[in-house]
Amino acid sequence: MTARVTVMGSGSWGTAFALVLSDAGQQVTLWARRPELAAKINSQHCNPDYFPTIDLPDTLRADHDPDRAMADAEYVVLAVPAQSLRATMAGWRIPADAVVISLAKGIELGTGYRMSQVISEVGGIGADRIGVVTGPNLAREIAERQPSASVVASTSPETAIRLQELCHTSRFRAYTNHDVVGCELAGATKNVIALAVGMAAGLGFGANATASVITRGLAETARLGVALGADPYTFSGLAGLGDLVATCSSPLSRNRTFGEELGWGRTVAEISGETRQVAEGVKSCASIQDLARRSGVEMPIVDQVAAVIAGTITAKEMIPALMSRSAKPERY
Ligand SMILES: NC(=O)C1=CN([C@@H]2O[C@H](COP(=O)(O)OP(=O)(O)OC[C@H]3O[C@@H](n4cnc5c(N)ncnc54)[C@H](O)[C@@H]3O)[C@@H](O)[C@H]2O)C=CC1
Ligand SMILES: O=C(CO)COP(=O)(O)O
């Protein structure tokens, strides 16, 4: 049965996921902050700012008025950057019965909240009406309808199955998962690890170095997750290893690319000033570091990335700092 879905945010992932939902047969409305972008999406049936060469279905409509866009939505998909979710959501009237789905991969600065916690607090929405979509889902590849698997997570098994039915297509294979904590922590932390991998690549190091950072990055992510109540298996699944590998190995990743440019010796300000797209790890490294400290969990790679982003060390100093740590058994 066709469902009414509104995607709030028409950047790269919001647009690509709106396409998935349309392909799955849903009636989709896309909210764009800028009226001129909404008008272009409606008249040109493409999003010229993000995917100028990709046709969007005629059935997909855009609107710049958030309340009108969501008015009769059964599902509201949140596709704005993590650090702006609270402020944007506070001004919206989400329909009382709608299921709310987070696409953002970040941890809120200040609170250390995962996105589902922000949604619950700001919207007064129960966990059974909240879902998370995560996994190896580079937006451009999804928009090109390349095959991909993904995870739809909710603490409510019924909601997870509804979300799976909502977005599963022959090109987008959605698996359910009930470990929202693990899925969200994995999605946010892989961006920080991708910054580190990018830095290693930008410094000219090869596959041994990047594979080592990916693997140890996964170990510290799982350590944090387990301390916060996540299921350890989540980290070897699509939300964990899957997304980590996709993000750390693709030139399409904004986080990996940002890290690579840091490795070339560019500054955070220089790189940030050149793109309007969000590399979530640049902000979330500090909130994840904070979560780890509060939980008594060691996250050496996150610590080093946070130091580079804060400007207290250079990317060049990061690898020697990691290599000179005391020797230890692998499982720690
Ligand atoms: N692009 C990708 O491949 C994927 C991205 N994600 C996650 O999805 C989230 C959104 O990412 P993208 O769509 O890629 O980012 P983007 O930078 O392409 O688009 C962000 C959208 O949010 C809007 N926006 C930005 N700041 C805002 C603010 N302060 N208030 C309201 N709207 C604002 C922008 O106008 C734009 O429509 C991020 O958390 C990202 O980590 C997740 C999976 C894949
Ligand atoms: O989350 C992503 C792929 O799953 C996208 O990663 P970037 O935000 O680094 O582009």
- Residues 198 and 132 placed together within one structural domain of the fold: no
- Residues 243 and 155 placed together within one structural domain of the fold: no
Q: Which of 189, 183, 285, 289 is nearest to 236 (CA)?
A: 183
- Residues 54 and 171 placed together within one structural domain of the fold: yes
Element (H, E) at 5: strand 4-8
- Residues 23 and 70 placed together within one structural domain of the fold: yes
Residues with CB under 6 A from ligand 2: 105, 136-138, 191, 194, 243, 246-247, 253-255, 280
Domain boundary among 159, 178, 197: 178
**Mutate-to-test residue for ligand 1 from 6, 12, 133, highest number of ligand atoms within 8 A of CB:** 12
pLDDT in tens, 270-312: 999 998 889 999 999 999 999 999 999 999 999 999 999 999 9
Looking at the CA of 238, name the nearest ligand: 2
CATH number at residue 71: 3.40.50.720
- CB 42 within 8 Å of CB 49: no
Percent of the chain with pLDDT over 90: 98
Q: Which residue has its alpha carbon closest to ligand 1 atom 43? A: 137
| Cβ partners under 8 Å of residue 106, min gap 6 | 81, 82, 83, 115, 188, 191, 280, 283, 284, 287
- Residues 291 and 260 placed together within one structural domain of the fold: yes
Distance 212 CA to ligand 1 centre (A): 29
Q: Supply the range of the domain harboring residue 93.
A: 4-178
Domain boundary among 149, 178, 207: 178
Residue 184 belongs to a domain: no
CA distance 148 to 166: 16
The number of helix segments (H) and strand segments (E) in the chain equals 15, 8
Give residue 1's pLDDT band: very low, low, confident or very high (50, 70, 90).
confident
Residue 330 belongs to a domain: no
| Cβ partners under 8 Å of residue 299, min gap 6 | 220, 223, 224, 288, 289, 292
CATH number at residue 277: 1.10.1040.10
Give residue 332's pLDDT band: very low, low, confident or very high (50, 70, 90).
low
Q: What Å distances lie between residue 147 and 17, 95, 326, CA to CA?
A: 13, 32, 42
- Residues 150 and 39 placed together within one structural domain of the fold: yes
Residue 276, pLDDT score: 80
Residue 155, pLDDT score: 98
Domain boundary among 122, 149, 178: 178
- CB 105 within 8 Å of CB 191: yes
Residue 275, pLDDT score: 83
Residue 331, pLDDT > 90, answer no
**Domain total in the chain:** 2
CA distance 42 to 254: 27
Q: Count other C-beta atoms under 10 Å from residue 158's C-beta.
A: 9
pLDDT in tens, 22-73: 999 999 999 999 999 999 999 999 999 999 999 999 999 999 999 999 999 9
- Residues 125 and 229 placed together within one structural domain of the fold: no
